[in-house]
Structure 1
Amino acid sequence: MKSSIRDKAEGTFHEAKGKVKEIAGKITDNPKLEAKGKGEKLVGKVQEKIGQVKKVLGK
């Protein structure tokens, strides 16, 4: 699997996982879990963008 495709897939996975954690934190009134979820979503978005850049650069 190309590096760009892997980064995009992993980024999407981290975004989804972060969203689940964020919602779980809201439901259980756990601000730490909610913050972890928001952070993981952000990491996922960044990783996905890195994959898009790699695709443009041909890596």
Structure 2
Amino acid sequence: MESDVLRELYEKYHQKAYLYVLSLCRDKETAEDIVSEGFEKAFLTVEGCPEGFFWWLLR
């Protein structure tokens, strides 16, 4: 996947994903770790820019 697409996805969804995970675990460092790992795995496995990327990421 191109770096521009990755950057756009990260900028668009990072804050939303972080706040969602933070609401579940109630720990800032843990939430940041989970979201970072989630994006890392997503960028290694996702092809293109799937519709519903945010919900795909949270799975």
Same structural fold, with TM-score higher than 0.5 when normalized by the shorter chain: no
Q: Which has the higher helix share?
A: 1
Q: TM-score when scaled to structure 1?
A: 0.38
Greater Rg over alpha carbons, structure: 1
